[in-house]
């Protein structure tokens, strides 16, 4: 895959997507959003990729935000269409049937925080800065920030962060549950690869159904969610990988999953 604003590579069943606009602190513009969609769709179809890691180039920024130059002249109709494209990308990532890890290096503001929120897991470097400063521009988060942030850290904290537009550091992001872990910048790549490798060793269909169960159950009552989980558990029981996994356990050997 050849992209203008991304670097894409795969190794050891891990697919890397690196946003590469260092002169703009990896800010999201329309072309980058389009390329990100294409990259994720490509990895979706790639049987050699079990986990995806998303990050930004350099040490300063994961994604510093949206490209303000594109936002400046939007009217109501154009603004709505603009954010719908970003929301489409975030839904692709959120519902991706392979684990997606955000390696948050440096600034992840506005659309950067929203992009990280769409990922299944967020690992931050100790120099990370996160926040939703859109109100300072007379705007609100538009790529899902008002919805996912409240679901992740709670309504009160989401209100505080979005209405103040303040930026928080990695330690605070960890404290409120916005990120899963914080490591040094030098350790970020290795920590994400280690976590990705532990996931890639598991049965692909089980990973897919687990993601579906968690995402799909959030908007259900507990009883509805339990029924949903039971249905998906039943589907895993019918996979070849579940037969291999249970057989390997009983035979005290490492399973050889085929994603079937």
Dig out the tokens for 202 from the structure.
């598991």
Q: How does 202-239 read in b/e, with b if 16+ C-beta sit within 10 Å?
A: bbbbbbbbbbbbeebbeeeeeeebeeebeebeeebeeb
Residues whose CB falls within 8 Å of the CB of residue 202, separated by 6 or more in sequence, listed in order: 257
Distance between first and last Cα of the chain: 26
Of 35, 114, 208, 229, which is the active-site residue?
114
Dig out the tokens for 257 from the structure.
């999953």
Of 35, 38, 94, 134, which is the active-site residue?
134
Query: Own/partner pairs for 71-80, CB < 8 Å, 24+ apart?
Result: 71/137, 71/139, 79/142
Q: From CA 133, how far away is CA 111, in angstroms rounded?
A: 10
For this structure, is 114 an active site residue?
yes
For this structure, is 88 an active site residue?
no
Q: H or E segment at 52?
A: strand 51-56
Q: From CA 91, how far away is CA 83, in angstroms rounded?
A: 12
Residue 183: phi, psi to the nearest 5? -135, 170
Q: From CA 157, how far away is CA 230, in angstroms rounded?
A: 33
Q: In what order do the strands lie in the sheet with 121-125?
A: 6-11, 14-19, 51-56, 100-104, 121-125, 181-183
Active site residues: 114, 134
């Amino acid at each position: 895959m050849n992209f203008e604003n991304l670097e894409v590579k795969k190794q050891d069943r891990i697919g890397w997507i690196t946003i590469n606009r260092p002169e703009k602190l990896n800010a999201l513009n329309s072309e980058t959003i389009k390329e990100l969609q294409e990259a994720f769709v490509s990895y979706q179809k790639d049987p050699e990729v079990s986990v995806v890691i998303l990050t930004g180039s350099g040490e300063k920024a994961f994604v510093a935000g949206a490209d303000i130059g594109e936002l400046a002249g939007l009217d109501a109709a154009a603004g709505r269409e603009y954010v719908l494209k970003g929301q489409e990308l975030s839904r692709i990532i959120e519902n991706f049937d392979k684990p997606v890890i955000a390696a948050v290096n440096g600034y992840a503001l506005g659309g950067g925080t929203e992009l990280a929120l769409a990922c299944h897991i967020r690992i931050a470097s100790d120099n990370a800065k996160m926040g939703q400063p859109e109100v300072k521009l007379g705007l609100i988060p538009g790529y899902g920030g008002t919805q996912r942030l409240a679901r992740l850290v709670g309504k009160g904290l989401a209100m505080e962060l979005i209405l103040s537009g303040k930026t928080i550091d990695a330690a605070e992001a960890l404290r409120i549950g916005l990120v899963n872990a914080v490591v040094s910048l030098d350790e970020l790549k290795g920590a994400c690869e280690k976590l990705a490798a532990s996931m890639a060793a598991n049965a692909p269909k089980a990973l897919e159904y687990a993601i579906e169960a968690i995402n799909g159950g959030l908007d259900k009552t507990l009883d509805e969610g339990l029924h949903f989980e039971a249905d998906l558990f039943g589907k895993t029981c019918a996979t070849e990988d579940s037969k291999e996994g249970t057989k390997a356990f009983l035979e005290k050997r490492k399973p050889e999953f085929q994603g079937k």
